[in-house]
Structure 1
Amino acid sequence: MNYQAFAGTVTAINDFSIGQYNEIGCYKLYSVDNGYGNVVNFVVAPTTYFVNQEVVSVGDQVIGFYDANAPAPLIFPPQFNALIMYKNAPGQFLKVDHFDGQLVSSDHMLQLNLSPSTKIILQNGQPFTGNLGNRNLIVVYGATTRSIPAQTTPYQIVVLCS
């Protein structure tokens, strides 16, 4: 999967109807404005993963992640299926990427150093006990070194199993 992000302020949240069953309330359309005149509409499904199960409201600063390789309608503003939503928290950063066997991100910009206090879980909140290498991960972290790749000891890692 090719995770791409779009960050900004939620300007609207509306019900979104899909298919013939018209399941009003199950799907939402989040409009996100980055403050520079760019807007993206995210289709938020019941399967969209919200980091820390945060509830998002109009006015919140968020980062939405979508699969850049997935088909998308050619409309304006762009509309993507939200895979992951993150409500910004002070002093915290987020990276969603594939990490290799040495826990270096695919863009070689972040390396993870684990500690006993790093919370490692699955999307359902249960502990993950396998090897983190060569997996897609959601990483919540704070301070980093100034090296390349930057190194950090994450607060939390969510393993994205296929």
Structure 2
Amino acid sequence: MINFNSFHGTVTMISDFITGQNGEGEGCYKLMSVENGSGAIVNFVVSPTTYFVDHLMVAAGDKVTGYYDGNAPVPLIYPPQYRALVIVKDTPYQNVKVDYFDSQLESSDGQLRLNLSPYTQIVLTNGQHFSKNPTNRNLIVIYGAATKSIPAQTTPYRIIVWC
């Protein structure tokens, strides 16, 4: 199971990241440096499989949240370098939660519970309709307002199922 961790900040630099010998994959991988405003810096390795919510283009100066697998091995270097699974560009009036949601549609950290409505769009990462139940899966949840209870409850606009 993926242990989704996140880091939020401002993109300070995006550069090419060479992954193999003989220029294999040249231009397909990027290194995105993100600073959180308190001096902490993280470098995200962005691959062709990294999912960008709403497929938004990200540039230096943008505020983003990068999600990575907290259980994955990482090189012991500074700043830390993580393989980005999901990148979310900050958008007004939109919240995003990337996590595993159980049979009650509660996130693994117990912070968010989903209430589905007939208007909740449930799709795959390729944009196609998801026809099964989204419980017990890794989800990218896009929502607006939420209650102040614990767990917070919301009716999401869209759920992206991470198969």
Q: Does 1:4 align with 2:5?
A: yes
Q: CA RMSD in A?
A: 0.8
Q: Give a deviation string over 1:90-119, Cα, whole Å, max 9, x none.
A: 011111111111101111111101112211
1:108-119 alignment to 2 at 5 Å? 108-119=110-121
Residue equivalent to 2:99: 97
Residue equivalent to 1:54: 56
Alignment partner of 1:30: what SS? strand
1:64-83 alignment to 2 at 5 Å? 64-83=66-85
Percent identity at matched positions?
Answer: 61
Q: 1:152 aligns with which of 146, 150, 154?
A: 154
Q: 1:30 to 1:102 in 2, by over 3 A?
A: same
**Where do 5+ consecutive residues of structure 1 fail to align?**
none
Q: How many residues align?
A: 161
Q: Give a deviation string over 1:106-155, Cα, whole Å, max 9, x none.
A: 11111101112211100111010101111110001110111111110111
**Where do 5+ consecutive residues of structure 2 fail to align?**
none
Off by >4 Å, runs of 4+ in structure 1: none
Residue equivalent to 1:33: 35
- The TM-score, its normalising length taken from structure 2, stands at 0.96
Alignment partner of 1:115: what SS? coil
Question: 2:118 and 2:57 mapped to 1: Cα distance?
Answer: 28
Residue equivalent to 1:121: 123
2:156 alignment partner AA: P
Alignment partner of 2:21: what SS? coil
Question: 1:8 and 1:148 mapped to 2: Cα distance?
Answer: 26
Question: 1:33 and 1:21 mapped to 2: Cα distance?
Answer: 32
Alignment partner of 1:7: what SS? strand
Alignment partner of 1:52: what SS? helix
Q: Give a deviation string over 1:20-43, Cα, whole Å, max 9, x none.
A: 142221100000000000000000
Residue equivalent to 1:20: 21
Q: Give a deviation string over 1:5-53, Cα, whole Å, max 9, x none.
A: 0000000000010011422211000000000000000000011000110
Q: 1:101 to 1:18 in 2, by over 3 A?
A: same
1:111 alignment partner AA: R
Alignment partner of 1:56: what SS? coil
Alignment partner of 2:54: what SS? helix
- The TM-score, its normalising length taken from structure 1, stands at 0.97
